Amino acid sequence: MTTLHVPPLPGPAGPASPSAAAPTAAAPTPGADLSVWPTSTTPLAHGDLAVAGVSLTGVAERFGTPAYLLDEGDVRARCRSYLRAFEGAEVLYAAKAFLCRAMAHWIAEEGLGLDVCSAGELELAVTTGFPTDRIVLHGNAKSPDDLRAALRLGVGRIVIDSASEIARLAAAVPPGSRQKVLVRVVPGIAAGGHAKIRTGTDDQKFGLSITDGSAQHAIARILGQPTLELVGLHCHLGSQITTEKPFLCAVRRLVGLMARIKDQHGVTLPELDLGGGHGIAYRPGEDALDVASLARKVRAELTESCAAAGLPVPRLVVEPGRAIVGPAGVALYRVLAVKRTAGQTFVAVDGGMSDNPRPALYGVRYAPRLIGRRSASGAEPVTVVGRHCEAGDILASDVRLPGDVRPGDLLAVPVAGAYHLSMASGYNLVGRPPVVAVADGHARLLVRRESLEDFRSRDVGL
């Protein structure tokens, strides 16, 4: 893997010395709020920013735009903060938020496990040497290929999400083997930042309901399968949850189900997986979940509920994804056009819904920032739009940018590490952006830009 050093930009006092490892810092711009940017972000001269000592404009010049930048040190620090907060628990990184070989390597080195949802995510992780016993396979509709890959590679646990999956999985387990499984139950709790990302209620596609008895029936069937070993219960309430209460309610309901399992089947389950969905702030001033507080309260609730039910405390498992990688990422765009209409100003950039569909899907709001030059113009409300053939291709609506924003300018969007590349599409065949890691004043390419040759080589018919 090639490592590229992004050289320092000249500072006000002249060129940086050859040994300098970072661009020249500048005094913070009055009113500039970097609270949702990677923790290593610092202001530079000429309106630029540096992340991990690397100039954002330097990244744009070397790797082009659009591009995703990922602060390796920030990712690793968030992994460690989860391990500290949930001491003694198992922390699985949710690969669906963002996965590449380097990310899997960082996660493994930091001691986290991995939660995957497909044979593709699984194979990519395994090619890095990720320990398969620390991998959990999820999915509401696992394909035969997904299950075969999981069994062939020896994943630690498979989460059963539907009744039809039980017999299919049991029959696929090699003779003489047993596969550890969890059951994903629906606790009937509404939580999450948007209706489309709430998964703990009975009216969506995931899991087996406690309310209608589906979960209890599936558990009885699993316990009757000699090739399956039921080791715990799993739930996932939703995404972008910023309060602790839903998780504490889930603990009580799942411990209650564990108590019924013990009473009816004489089985004490050793694991309780509360999933993820830990909310983060996308704009200054927004709420974020306090992970340390969550860990303390969940542990206390789990201990108390188990004591009341006469159960030993199971091993706790959590699955953060967005909360680990989201704040560590920045998206870089080049302005292509500025169009002022009677009612509003549109700033069109060289990316859009193909590299970030989340505003169109969930109405997510971001805080883009002009970088690379200082502007004396006052801030004005604009709508940052993409280049795609959809009226809904909007990256950030009603945001404030300098009134003289113009083609050629660079915009940087913080909190872009999660659900950007992993949800990117090939719409309009513009090509998915590259991923660039930064650490200690250096930048290196992790995932290359999708090219015209990629499009040509995949199209094999005529």
Work out the average pLDDT over 301-315: 97
pLDDT recorded at residue 228: 97
Q: Is pLDDT of 199 > 80?
A: no
Residue 207 — left, alpha, or beta (φ > 0 → left; ψ -120 to 50 → alpha)? left
Q: Is pLDDT of 29 > 90?
A: no
Which residues of the chain are in CATH 2.40.37.10 domains?
A: 3-10+21-71+327-451
* Per annotation, catalytic residue among 79, 117, 306, 389: 389
What's the pLDDT tens digit per position in 212-237?
Answer: 889 999 999 999 999 999 999 999 98
Q: Is pLDDT of 85 > 50?
A: yes
Nearest to 448, CA basis, from 460, 462, 432? 432
Report residue 205's pLDDT band, with 50, 70 and 90 as the boundaries: low
- Domain range 72-326, CATH architecture: Alpha-Beta Barrel (3.20)
Work out the average pLDDT over 21-25: 48
Q: Is pLDDT of 247 > 80?
A: yes
Is 389 catalytic? The answer is yes
Domain at 3-10+21-71+327-451: CATH code: 2.40.37.10
Q: Is pLDDT of 446 > 50?
A: yes
Which residues of the chain are in CATH 3.20.20.10 domains?
A: 72-326
